[in-house]
Structure 1
Amino acid sequence: MNDFFQQTAQAEFQKASQQLPGAKQFQTALTQSFKRYDNLIAKTIAESPTKPACQAGCAFCCYYKVEVRAHEMLNIKDYLHKQLSAENIQQIIQEAEQNAVVIRSITPEQHLTTNLKCPLLHNNQCSVYPVRPYRCRNFHATDAKACEQSFADPANMDIATGMIETVALAADAHSQGFEAAIEQKGLDARIYDFNTALLEVLADESCLKRYLRGKKTFQTALEVS
C-alpha cells in the first residue's frame, strides 16, 4: 500500500470521524464525504494525462454486480421518498424483486458474469445519482468500446475496460477511510448485496433503528463476505 493511498485514507478517516460525533449524524457525514470525494476525483482526473471514457447516457456498468453499505442504502431510501413518486418507487421494487430472484439462485461468482439492470436505472440515467454508493462512484473506464464488449459478453473476464491508476487509488482510499470511521463508531460496516438490501430498506422501517443501535441493519438481505 503506497503513501498516497495511506495519506488519502487517513485524511478522510479523520474528517469523517469529526463529523460523526454520534450515530444520528451518519447522513450528514456521508453527504460531506461525497463532496470531498467529488473534489478529490475531479482534481486527480485533471492531473492525469489519461481521461475516463465515461459519458452521461452510457450505462453498461449499471448492469454489474453492486455491493452497498448500510449507511449508503439508508441514504438512498430517504432520497427516493423525497424525489420519486410512490408509483416510481413501486416500479423500482418490482425490478429489484425480479433481480433478487435471480441473485438468490446463482453463486456470487455467477453473479459477476450475469447482466442485471440496476432497478434505479431509468432511461440510461441513475435515478439516485447524487447519493449513489461508493461502489458505483469508484468505477470508471478508459475504453468505452471495451465496456460495450464486456456488456455483450459478461462471462468473458479477460476484457479490460481500462482504468486510471491514480483515480482508482484515490477513490478506494477515500471510501475506505470513511468506512473505517463508520466502523470505529460501532456502526454497521457490513457489505450487502444491493438489490436485496434495497428491498429490505423499503419494506422494513426497523432498519434505521437497528443501524443507529450498532446492530446488523439488514436481516434478510444477502451479506457479502
Structure 2
Amino acid sequence: MTTNQQFEQLEKAFFHDGYQLAMKAVEANLEQEALHQSLQEMYAAIDGLIDSLFVYAQQQNQVIDCKKGCSWCCHQPVFALDYELDYLLAFMEKSFDDDTFSGVQEKAKQKQTKLGTLKGDELMNAKYPCPLLKDNACSAYEARPMACRIYLSSDVKSCVHFYNQPDDKNTYPALLDMPMRLGRMMNEGFKSALKTNGIEAKEFRIEEKLI
C-alpha cells in the first residue's frame, strides 16, 4: 500500500469517527447536551492526534512552531460550522462574566464592520484580531473551533510573512498537512451525519455568530 493510499484510509477512518460521534447525538434526539458532548469528544480526538505530532516532531528534532503567545494566525478570518459556534457560545456563557462576554461581542461587531463587505482574496487576506484574542492567547481556547485546532505551522517566519504581506502569492504559512486534512475529514463526517438526519450545517465566520 502506498503512502497516499494509507493516508486515504486514515481520512476515511476519521470521517467515520466523526460520523459516529454525531450519530450518538442524533440517537439522543439532538439535545444540546448530547450534541456538545459529541463535539467535545471529536475535539479531544483531534487534540490527541496533535499532541502525538508534537511528541513525534520533538523525537525527530523537527519543529512545530505553534505555542501560547504566538497569535499571527489569530488575525485572519476563521470559518466554523454553526454547531461549533453554538458550542463556543455555550462555553462563553458558562465561563465568562457579563463584562467579558459583552467585551467580546463588541470586538466581534467591530470585526464584522471591517470584514462584512469583503469578498474573495480581499476577505481571506484581511488582518484583524479575533474577538476572543486576549494578551496574544485565546480566551476560549478549550472551545475553539476545528479550524483553529488544526492550523499548525512548522515555521513561524512564514506566518509573520503572511501577516505582513498577505498578497504575496509566493509565500504561504508552512502548515502541516496531516492535522488539517484529518481534522477537516472528521468534521465532514460529523456534518454528514447531521445532514443525513435532516440538519444542514452552515458555515460562518466566528464574529458573525458572536454578535
TM bucket normalised to smaller: 0.7 to 0.9
- Which residue of structure 2 aligns with residue 163 of structure 1? 175
Query: Residue 47 of structure 1: CA displacement?
Result: 4.1
Query: Residue 117 of structure 1: CA displacement?
Result: 0.6
Distance (whole Å) between structure 1 residues aligned to residue 178 and residue 53 of structure 2 = 7
Maintained 8 Å contact 2:115/2:126: no
> Cα RMSD between the aligned structures?
1.9
Does 2:24 correspond to 1:12?
Answer: no
- Which residue of structure 2 aligns with residue 192 of structure 1? 204
When normalised by structure 1's length, the TM-score is: 0.80
Ranges in structure 2 where 5+ consecutive residues have no aligned partner: 1-6
SS of residue in 1 equivalent to 2:168: coil
- Which residue of structure 2 aligns with residue 212 of structure 1? none
Which AA in structure 1 matches 2:48? N
Ranges in structure 1 where 5+ consecutive residues have no aligned partner: 200-225
- Which residue of structure 2 aligns with residue 83 of structure 1? 95
Alpha carbons of 1:157 and 1:183: their partners in 2 closer, same or farther (altered >3 Å)? Answer: farther
Does 2:30 correspond to 1:23?
Answer: yes
Query: Residue 186 of structure 1: CA displacement?
Result: 2.2
Give the alignment of 1:1-225 within 5 angstroms.
Answer: 2-21=8-27, 22-24=29-31, 25-47=34-56, 49=60, 50-199=62-211
SS of residue in 1 equivalent to 2:26: coil
Query: Residue 155 of structure 1: CA displacement?
Result: 2.2
Distance (whole Å) between structure 2 residues aligned to residue 45 and residue 19 of structure 1 = 31
Alpha carbons of 1:43 and 1:174: their partners in 2 closer, same or farther (altered >3 Å)? Answer: farther
Larger CA deviation: 190-199 vs 5-14: 5-14
Distance (whole Å) between structure 2 residues aligned to residue 180 and residue 47 of structure 1 = 31
SS of residue in 2 equivalent to 1:23: coil
Distance (whole Å) between structure 2 residues aligned to residue 195 and residue 56 of structure 1 = 22
Maintained 8 Å contact 2:104/2:132: yes
Distance (whole Å) between structure 1 residues aligned to residue 189 and residue 102 of structure 2 = 34
SS of residue in 2 equivalent to 1:11: helix
Which AA in structure 1 matches 2:42? S
Maintained 8 Å contact 1:51/1:164: no
Query: Residue 45 of structure 1: CA displacement?
Result: 4.4
Which AA in structure 2 matches 1:31? Q
Distance (whole Å) between structure 1 residues aligned to residue 55 and residue 184 of structure 2 = 18
When normalised by structure 2's length, the TM-score is: 0.85
SS of residue in 2 equivalent to 1:65: coil
Q: Deviations over 1:8-30 (max 9, x none)?
A: 21233224323431211211111
Distance (whole Å) between structure 1 residues aligned to residue 121 and residue 209 of structure 2 = 19
* Matched residues, number: 199
Larger CA deviation: 111-120 vs 49-58: 49-58
